[in-house]
Copies of this chain bind each other. A is one copy, B any other.
Amino acid sequence: MARRNDHSHEEIRDMALAAAEQIIVEQGSDGLTARKVASEIGYTVGTLYLVFANLDDLIMHINARTLDRLHQLMTDGETPNRIEKDRLIQLGQIYIHFAHSDPHRWALIFEHRPSDDRPTPDWYIEKAMRVFAVVEETLQPLAPRRTKSELSQAACALWAGIHGICILGITQKLGDVGEDSVQELAKSLMVNYLSGFSNNQA
């Protein structure tokens, strides 16, 4: 059976992504195989390779979706009137909760290393930057006298810091801790960092 025309390539692409995501959520990245995804959508491996260059390509697209959902959560219900410090801390909470509620999809973003020959595509970098920009914008009002580059650096340090806590927390590298403890750690990091960052500005 060929040329079934049941679905356009665009449709197959979306079906494959949805099926792949379900596998990831349920079984983690180890459970993801080309054959499984294909059979799940009623096609065969060959078809998958008509739509994606390879599994890495498919994973990149899953990750893009994950970044979109994270960005959505971080900008959802934005309350600009709120005290900015709380808003930043809230961002950290959102990130950590996101990672804990969907650990497999979250982990997939960082398990994937860009191979040397195929560098990370621009459209992907752009999505990652979009998430990061939210942090930067939220930080800005907290230290108005800092230069743009100082702000960028601080946002970077803070966000990477939260991320590190998240990683060590979820992968249990520092003992058996729940989401609550991770939230505590992150809050401690943000509050103390901000205290130094805001007070010591020129």
Contact = CB atoms under 8 A, between A and B. Distances in A.
A154 to B, nearest CB: 7
18 contacts: A128-B174, A153-B185, A156-B165, A157-B186, A157-B188, A157-B192, A160-B165, A160-B169, A161-B162, A161-B165, A161-B189, A164-B164, A164-B166, A164-B167, A189-B193, A191-B196, A192-B197, A193-B196
Copies of this protein, total:
2
Interface residues of A, number: 42
Nearest to A115: B30
Nearest to A185: B157
A173 interface: yes
A35 to B, nearest CB: 21
B195 A199 contact: yes
Nearest to A112: B171
Contacts of A169: 160
